[in-house]
Structures are given as structure tokens and as C-alpha cells.
Homo-oligomer: A and B are copies of this chain.
């Protein structure tokens, strides 16, 4: 065994994904000398999308962080706005449902790889950033602030000592694993898997390079126990994701083990989508079945030595379209904390966690909640009626009414936790008002007394929150 080299660095970031590269860029802008270590090859040079979502939803929280780092404009150039859901039923009928009753509120489909490339280009252009690819972190000595790497290029191993080390190394974080295994402190940790997994498929562009279905929507084929969604890509294609039980339900991944089974399943449940996915059998075989898990942990930091950030600190399921946005917002919040106490990393990390943890927990819970909502409530008449009322309320009271979805997705100045508490109470109030006829809702849009409904929703929402508070519930 060769004795390893030790490199001394200032800021060490493990991971050059979306979070790591934005963090590198921002810390460089603040004047730090930054070294970033990434286990994968440089995605600007090779195609390494396999097994990861090809496109993602970018919304206001993400943009706010990108604006901070001066890269929002470049990101917007590769965005495809999605104004609402387009729901496909079994007969091939479609129903549009906007994300907001306000105009100008939409989410964006964006290529993970292209956005990452923009961030890497910007970071690399800074004189004080060094990017290292194909180097795998194997463990971190959190006391010595030393990260151990092995290179995929020449089999070498080396060590890096940082003044501070950030773990932006995603859901499978090696820094987080070091916290768990080193047992230097009481580390609260959870990994929770859903019984569903996912698989990516593709609807290619037509012969002219155009989108075959509306590119202005996030497409969704909800079927209770399973669901298909599709987001548009710039090249005219759609990335389709199938969500299905690993081994539970009438159909499940384990059972889809033959051409006949796969085809029968799609013919039965998603005939219109099947007609648009020519390579379904090949893709089913070649694309991995992914797991859907939520990771939470605390503390995120060890002294002023190390910090977990992004998915490494709080991996979430994709059902709120907030994973990337939450990670970008992490960098924004860290930056704001640096404005107040730069110079003392332990204080920075402690302040950051105190401010950020409840919001990270909340978006993790909201994302799981939306999984059940999309799966079980989509056909529920109460939920449908609530959705209709909320669109009307948002349109009528654009400055005053915000659905839970709007608060989470479009109101970047409200934290996720506040959005969750207020949004849940509002949903509960509305659903119960509809159920017990407190407001007359069985009327066409134009006959509804929106002013009365608005007032009543506000009162009932406040009462739900007050009653929870009196009962000592969070």
C-alpha cells in the first residue's frame, strides 16, 4: 500500500451535482478558495444520465437561489414552462388543471444535466474554484477534517484536508455515513422507503422534432395504486416516469417480468401513453427500477468542521417537484447566514441548521403526503371540488388567497414549514366546509359567493390552527 498524498485545501465540497456546484459557485463569489470532488465523470463531456431523472421541475425557490448566484437568466433559457397538470384517463380523455389561479405562476421542466453544466461552467470560470472528477470519496475523518478519495482514473488514493468540508454528495452521502459509523455524537437518522419504486421511459419527438403531446403541461396518468407522469424536454421528447409498487398491488415491478406482462399492463392502464413509447420493452429492461426514499438526520454538522447540505442532509421523494428547489434554497439560506456570522463556521452551521431544519423536514413530509394525495385522492370528489374552489379564490383574490401548493411552490418568501402548517389547516377547513355544506359549493363557478367562501375559509383555517395549538399539537 502506497502512502497516500495529503492535499491541504480551504473549502472542500464533496459532490459536483446541482447542490455542490451551486455551493461552489456561491462560495467562490464570496471569496473562498474551493475544491470540488465528484465521483462521476464530468457530465459536460460524457453522457451519464442513466438511472437519474433526466428532467426536473424548477420553481420559484430554485430561481431565487440561482438569481443570488447570477445564473437565473441562463437557466431560464433552457426552461419549458408547465402551466398545469394534464390528466389522462383510461379512455384517453384529458383534463387540464392549472397549478395556480394567478397568471404567471407555473413550474418549469429543465434538464438536470444541462442545468448542472451551466453551474459547472460558471464555477469553473471562477479563478478560485478547482473541479476534480472521477474521484470517489470513501470516508471522512470528521475530527481531522480529512476526506479520503480513490481515483477511478488511475486507481490512486489520496487524502484531502480542508479548513471545512461540505457533503453535497446526495442521498447516498459518504459524509453522512461517516457521521453514522463514527458514533462521535448522538446522530438521529432515518431512511424511509415507499412501497413504490419508479422507472424512466421516453416519448420521443415526432419526425419533425416536435412534442407529440402538449409541452405546456406536466402530464399525469393517475390510476390509484400506480401512476405515470411525463415532463417535456427541449428536444421534443418527454421523459416519462412510471411509479408502481415493488411487489404490492394488482400490478407491480416484480410481476412485470415479460414482454407480455408489460404490454398487457400498459394496454390496460395507459393505452394512449403506450402508443407514444416505441421502445418500452427495451427501456423497461435497460433502465433501472429506482427506490423512493426520504432521508432525515440531525445534526447536519460536526463542530465547525463539516456540514451536510442538499440531498445529503434531506433526500425527499419527487412528488412535490421540490427536491432540487430545496437543495438550491439550502445554498441561499447558508449564504444569508454567512452574511450574519461569517468567520466562525461552527456558529454558521449551528445557525443554519436552526433556521433550515424545520423547513427541510417539512418538505420531506409534504412530498410523501403528495404521494398519497396523488395516488388516493385524485378521484375523490371532495378533493376535486376543493381544487376548483381554490383556483377561483386565487383568481379572485390574487394577493390574498394561496393554496398549499402555491405557498410551497410559488411563495419563496414563506418557509416550507409555515407553508405546510398553514396549507394543511386550510385544506382541512376547506374539505370539511365542502363535506358538511357550510358553504354552498354545488353551483356553477359564476353562481358561487366567493366573498363569503373566502371569509369562511379564513375563519375556519384560523380555528383549525387555534384548536391544534390549544391541544399542544405542532
Chain A residues engaging chain B, CB cutoff 8 angstroms:
186-193, 246, 291, 293, 296, 372-373, 376-377, 380, 382-383, 424, 427-428, 431-432, 435, 467-468, 470-473
Contact = CB atoms under 8 A, between A and B. Distances in A.
Contacts of A435: 470
Given A190-B189, A192-B190, A428 B382 contact: no
A230 to B, nearest CB: 26
A430 to B, nearest CB: 9
Given A186-B291, A291-B186, A467 B193 contact: no
Contacts of A188: 190-193, 293
Given A431-B470, A471-B428, A186 B193 contact: yes
Nearest to A195: B186
A291 B187 CA distance: 11
A423 to B, nearest CB: 11
A467 B293 contact: no
A279 B413 CA distance: 55
A192 B193 CA distance: 17
A182 to B, nearest CB: 15
Q: Which of A189, A190, A372 has the most CB of B within 10 A?
A: A190
A190 B190 contact: yes
Given A186-B291, A186-B293, A246-B186, A432 B471 contact: yes
Given A186-B193, A188-B191, A376-B472, 10 more contacts: A186-B293, A188-B190, A188-B293, A189-B190, A189-B191, A190-B190, A380-B472, A428-B467, A432-B471, A435-B470
